Amino acid sequence: MIINDAFGFLRGEVLLRVLDKKGTCLHRYEDKNAITYMAPLVIKDLLVQATSANMTVASSNDHPSFEGWGINQNAQADFEPTNNAIRYLQIGTGGTTPAVRQQQTLVTPVASVIIPTILYPTASSIRCIAQVDVNTANVADPINEVGLLTKGTAPFSDEPTVSPAGSKLFARQVHPPVTKTEQVVLEYSWTVYFT
C-alpha cells in the first residue's frame, strides 16, 4: 500500500529486523510510516512550554477539535516538556487496518517498550531504536503494527504499561505479520525526518 507519509515538514521510515537469539537477521522489512495528526500537537506543546506560573500560553488548555484531522474533541494540551518526548515503542496485532493519520492509538496494542537509543543520523533527522526482547509480547496473534509514543503523564518506567497514561501516538505503521516467540527479538529502527 502506498502511504503519503509526509506531513508538512515531517516524514518517517520504519525498519523492522526479526533476529534470532544469536542476533542473526531472519527477516527484514522497511517502509514509510504515517505521521499522525497528534504529531503537530506534540510539537506545538513542546514549542510553547509554560515555564512559569506567571506565564499565560493559551486561553484554554485544550487544542481545538478539528474533524478534518479526525480529532473530534478537544485534545488536552500538555506543556510539561518530558511528557511530550518520544519515549516508547508500542506494538500490536491490529495491522489489518491501514496506517492513517487520524489514528490516535494502535488498533490492538499488546506491549510497549522503552526506546533506549536515539541517534541523530543527519542534521535533519532523528532515529529511535528499540527491541522487543525474547520475553515480551509472545502472544497468539502475529505482531503487525507499531507506533511511536510520547512519555505521557505517567511516571517514566523501564517497564511501561501497554498504553502509558497520557501518551500520544506520534506515528504508526503496519508491517507483514511476525509470529513473536521466545526464540526471536523484534528490532525497530524508526527515522523521523524534518524536511
Q: What is the pLDDT of residues 70-80, one digit of tens each?
A: 554 556 666 67
Asked whether the CA dihedral 156, 122, 18, 6 is positive or negative, the reply is: positive
pLDDT in tens, 115-136: 999 999 998 888 999 999 999 9
Q: Which residue has the cell 499488546?
A: 110
pLDDT in tens, 85-113: 889 999 999 877 776 666 778 889 999 99
Decide: 28 and 178 in contact? Cβ < 8 Å.
Answer: no
Reported pTM: 0.80
Q: For residue 152, what pLDDT is reported?
A: 85
The rounded distance, in Å, linking the Cα atoms of 13 and 34 is 9
The rounded distance, in Å, linking the Cα atoms of 51 and 57 is 10
Q: Is 95 left (phi over 0), alpha (psi -120 to 50) or beta?
A: alpha
**pLDDT > 60? residue 4:** no
Q: For residue 185, what pLDDT is reported?
A: 97
C-alpha 22, offset from chain centre: 27
Q: For residue 82, what pLDDT is reported?
A: 78
The rounded distance, in Å, linking the Cα atoms of 21 and 134 is 8
DSSP characters over the chain: ------BTTEEEEEEEEEEETT--EEEEEEEE-EE-THHHHHHHHHHT---STT----SSSEEPPBGGGTB-SPEEP---GGGGSEEEEEEES-TTSPP-TT-SS-SSEEEEEE--EEE-SSTTEEEEEEEE-TTS---SSPEEEEEEEE--SSPP-SS--SS-TT--EEEEEEEEEE---TTEEEEEEEEEEE-
